[in-house]
Amino acid sequence: MAEARLYTQFRNDIVPALKKEFNMDNVMSVPKLTKITINVGVGEAVSDRKKLDDIVNNIALITGQRPAITQARKSISNFKLREGMPIGCRVTLRGKIMYEFLDRFINLSLPRSRDFQGIPDKGFDGRGNYTVGIKEHTIFPEIDVDKVTQIHGMDMTFVTTANTDEQAFALLKHLGLPFRKRNK
């Protein structure tokens, strides 16, 4: 089976560049992308289970992997929510599938976003992980816009082995994530 294009680029070009940039001696200390998690919360799933099924099918189309359905942890009477009710879905991508998804996300999906100026660089958590929210799932080419009944967003988290946000930012920048230009 062929290797993902972005992974080959990472191994051959990005690792030496990061090693030199951060003055690292060991190749194993260079930050790597370990997983991408995608999470969708569906508040309307409380009253209409079909909406959750549509979103699960959309996420399965986008990622190529069947998402796990998440349940409510606590009952909240104001929202008519009971413990154990399905309220969202999530999927974790690793390995070859992760790199192929990231390649499609950077090169096909993000440029299709309306008024795209780059993704914000504010989503780092202090431990080298980056989270970004996507407002419309229709930016992915796998979704047929004519068959869409509702538009939903999703949260994507890029989990890295980087120790600092600076290292994680450099890794994601080298991988090709188009961060917004900072105003100085």
Kind plus residue range of the DSSP H or E element containing 158: strand 154-160
pLDDT of residue 184: 44
pLDDT of residue 66: 93
Provide the pairing of β-strand 86-93 with 130-134. unpaired
pLDDT of residue 87: 80
Counting as low any pLDDT under 70, the low residues of the chain are 1, 44-47, 76-81, 182-184
pLDDT of residue 149: 79
The tens digit of pLDDT for each residue in 30-59 reads 999 999 999 988 776 666 777 888 888 889
pLDDT of residue 17: 92
Task: Write down the architecture of domain 5-18+33-175 according to CATH.
Answer: 2-Layer Sandwich (3.30)
Could you tell me the residue ranges of all domains in the chain? 5-18+33-175
pLDDT of residue 41: 83
Q: Which of 156, 179, 139 is nearest to 93 (CA)?
A: 156
**Residues 40 and 140: beta-carbon distance below 8 Å:** no
pLDDT of residue 12: 92
Enumerate residues 6+ apart whose C-beta is below 8 A from 71: 83, 84, 85, 86, 87
pLDDT of residue 5: 87
pLDDT of residue 45: 60
pLDDT of residue 47: 66
Neighbour order of strands in the sheet with 154-160: 68-71, 86-93, 33-41, 154-160, 130-134
Place of tokens 């070009």: 13
Enumerate residues 6+ apart whose C-beta is below 8 A from 130: 123, 124, 157, 158, 160, 168, 169, 172
